[in-house]
Amino acid sequence: MDLKPETIEKIDKLVPRYPTVKSAALPLCHLVQEDQGYLSNEAIEWIATRLDLQPINILEIVTFYPMLRQEPTGKYHVRVCRTLPCALAGAYQTCKKLEEAFDCKVGHTSDDGEVTLEFVECHADCGKAPVVMVGEEEYTNVTPETAEEFATKLKNGQL
């Protein structure tokens, strides 16, 4: 697996800072995902070898944390905040509408590779809930009622 030299450098600095190699596994997953965009089986094996662990030890972490991905992200990386204020404002129903509009289950990428739909935790804009991120752009008040229109605009490049 080809990691950027700066990622290797960060990993080499990070690992000795942890009292046990196991505790370095999660930050390493983040660094490798940042570099590769997602954590392939090859990446999981690479991390395991680097930490002298078994691939299953890394896979357990990757499947536990929703922010770690085993698939590449689509052209649009859509993340719906699901923390309490957004949930109370209808974020789960918004997400359901987006699943239908994008024909894509949350936690996955659509078959055409256009959209990856995920949940995310609070983005500190709770007063304008529900909040949806597309890449690093934040969109507020994406309610179940406006979600379909939001999805159409996104697909048509009108956001």
**Contacting residues toward ligand FES, per CB under 6 A:** 81, 83, 85-86, 122-126, 129, 131
Only one residue has tokens 């993340």, namely 79
Q: Which is nearer to ligand FES, 81 or 98 (CB)?
A: 81
Distance of closest approach, residue 142 Cβ to ligand FES, in angstroms: 11
Decide: helix, strand or coil at residue 27: helix
How many angstroms separate the CA atoms of 100 and 119, rounded?
Answer: 15
Q: Which is nearer to ligand FES, 50 or 79 (CB)?
A: 79
Distance of closest approach, residue 18 Cβ to ligand FES, in angstroms: 30
Distance of closest approach, residue 94 Cβ to ligand FES, in angstroms: 11
Q: Which is nearer to ligand FES, 94 or 110 (CB)?
A: 94
How many angstroms separate the CA atoms of 17 and 1, rounded?
Answer: 24
How many angstroms separate the CA atoms of 39 and 46, rounded?
Answer: 10
The answer to whether 106 and 95 have CB atoms below 8 angstroms apart is: yes
Q: Which is nearer to ligand FES, 69 or 79 (CB)?
A: 79
